[in-house]
A and B are shown apart, each in its own frame.
Chain A
Amino acid sequence: MNYLPVEQVINPAAGAVSLAILIFLSLSGYYYMKLAERGRTFPVRKIRAFEAIEEAVARSVEMGRPVHYTIGYGSLRTAHAPQYTAGLGVLTHVAKLAGKYGARLIVTHGVPEAIASIDEIVRDGYFSEGRPELYNPVDNARYLTDIQFAYASSAQAVIIRENAGANIVIGPFWAESLILAEAGTMVGAFQIGGTARDVQIPFFVLVCDYAFIGEEIFAAGAMASGDIPTLASIRGQDVGKLLSIVLIVLGLILLPFGVKLATYLMW
């Protein structure tokens, strides 16, 4: 049996402070999730883009046009997995709304590992709202390909040919972000976009009616799930941001005294 060398499992270059922060954040996330399980609630600030989803679905139904949704292309096995998860979380919400309003939902994607999950989410959305007759796996969930521009050229074609009334794109996006958003603009769709990839956020801010900016997609994913412990995990994430603020302020206070916090953080 071959065993991996220790340095491949534990990175010796990773600092002790980094590890301490990782443990602290994990524990704080766990702590707030446990608190939520005991009945404690954490009010989450409103995110306009999230609230606009219902309007987008309802508007599409009024116009007799389908709702297009995509989480992008790629693989769940990469570090972008949390963004795909957020996209799938919001899809749960959109699928339920599609069932509630009787909308035709078309999900295009290029994530092979998510084929089964997307099928199930869409199916559950229609079934849980008592509209099983609207579920059509071939039409509702369309896997295109995991090659970037082949996926983008097909997804934009679906948006245009199906004359989407709403175009919701949430996940990690690369150069195809503008292609998808532009296709939505061409058919006058109500557009909601979101990604945590900072280079692509400007395109969604520019072209979409509402945009999730960065971390907002994770909060939206948790809000869409409606699951109390998952919602509480947002508080855990907030602890990380508060920690960053504290470290910045502390570092700035110590700097004039010749104490460089940056050096200690790299331990």
Chain B
Amino acid sequence: MIEAIQIWLSAALVIWIWSFVYKDNYLYRLAQHIFLGAAAGYSIGISLDSLNKTALVPLAKSPTTNMHLIIPIIIGLLFFFKYSRRYYWVARYGVGIALAVGTALAFRTAPMANIIRQVNAVLLPLWTPDPVKTLNNWIHVVITLSALVYFIFTVTPRVVEGRPTITYRLYDAVLRIGIYGMMVAFGATLANTIMTRLAFFISMNLQYLQPYPLESLSAIILVAIAILFAMRRARAG
């Protein structure tokens, strides 16, 4: 019995969520709120479990060796000052520390990931016996350099007396090459991602809908009624 409900619910929730593509309706709202409520509950559970495992239990077991764990607990508690009208500013310290940790994490890997590895990937021989490889390498280098120029915001040639100089025209051409190159790359990425999403769609269908046609059909009928109801309500005013 429980298994039957489980199967029906999985098929129904998938279809109800998908129904939003056509129109907002009560069954989508129901699925959305179940999802949101479950997510909120799950987050609280995971957070409490993490707090317990990484801070409270070690602190209770050996307070002297794990005294430093009090610091993150205090930082975490600072966030609750948001609810005080008088001391709400104290919460900023918590936010500031969280941001600083995140920025430091990003900063730590930036030179290696964003500069050295990228530069190394572009250092390709521009003259090779294979003409196709040569062309590929030239495209790679020119588009990378142009895209880099596109992202330079404060060093740009100026227009003198309303007339663009040769430097400006050259800069503009490089900028265009950069943006066109990026658009081609975006197109390829988009197609790739769409293929992945399509695979998700098919797997959802194979896992939750196709093996259970009756459950799926009943969910579709219910959602169709909900959409018709929503449309009638919208028409009425």
* Cα separation A18 to B126 with both chains bound (whole Å): 26
* Cα separation A14 to B113 with both chains bound (whole Å): 11
* Cα separation A195 to B153 with both chains bound (whole Å): 17
Q: Is the pair B24, A116 in contact by a Cβ cutoff of 8 Å?
A: no
CB-nearest residue of chain B to A43:
B154
Q: Using A76-B98, A150-B35 as known contacts, say yes or no to A238 and B82 having CB atoms under 8 A apart.
A: no
Q: Is the pair A262, B92 in contact by a Cβ cutoff of 8 Å?
A: no
Q: How far is the CB of A24 from chain B (nearest CB, A)?
A: 9
Name the B residues within 8 Å of A47 (CB-CB).
153
Q: How far is the CB of B93 from chain A (nearest CB, A)?
A: 10
Q: Is the pair B154, A235 in contact by a Cβ cutoff of 8 Å?
A: yes
Secondary structure of the B contact surface, majority rule: helix
* Cα separation A15 to B82 with both chains bound (whole Å): 42
Q: Is the pair A144, B144 in contact by a Cβ cutoff of 8 Å?
A: no
Name the A residues within 8 Å of B43 (CB-CB).
145-147
Secondary structure of the A contact surface, majority rule: helix
CB-nearest residue of chain A to B32:
A153
Q: Using A113-B95, A149-B35, A234-B153 as known contacts, say yes or no to A79 and B145 having CB atoms under 8 A apart.
A: no
A206 contacts B by Cβ under 8 Å? yes
Partner of A116, one of B20, B79, B148, B151: B79
Q: Is the pair A80, B106 in contact by a Cβ cutoff of 8 Å?
A: yes
Q: Which of B76-112 contact A (CB under 8 A)?
A: 79, 81-82, 88, 91-92, 94-95, 98-99, 101-103, 105-107, 109-112
Q: Is the pair A240, B115 in contact by a Cβ cutoff of 8 Å?
A: yes
CB-nearest residue of chain B to A247:
B119
User: For this complex, into which size category does the number of interface residues on chain B fall?
Assistant: 35 or more
A27 contacts B by Cβ under 8 Å? no
Name the A residues within 8 Å of B67 (CB-CB).
1
Residues of A within 8 A of B (CB): 1-2, 14-15, 17-19, 21-22, 25, 42-45, 47, 75-82, 84-85, 112-117, 119-120, 144-147, 149-151, 153-154, 156-157, 160-161, 175, 198-199, 201-203, 205-206, 213-216, 219, 234-235, 237-238, 240-245, 247-249, 251-252, 255-256, 260-262, 265-266
Residues of B within 8 A of A (CB): 17, 20, 24, 28-29, 31-32, 35-36, 38-40, 42-43, 64-68, 79, 81-82, 88, 91-92, 94-95, 98-99, 101-103, 105-107, 109-112, 114-116, 118-120, 122-123, 125-127, 141, 144-145, 148-149, 151-156, 182-183, 186-187, 189-190, 193, 197
Instruction: Provide a sorted-by-A list of 30 A–B residue pairs whose CB atoms are within 8 angstroms.
Output: A1-B64, A21-B111, A25-B111, A45-B153, A77-B98, A77-B101, A79-B106, A82-B103, A85-B99, A85-B103, A113-B94, A116-B82, A116-B95, A119-B82, A153-B31, A153-B32, A156-B20, A157-B20, A157-B24, A202-B187, A202-B190, A205-B186, A245-B145, A245-B149, A247-B119, A248-B141, A249-B145, A262-B120, A262-B123, A265-B120
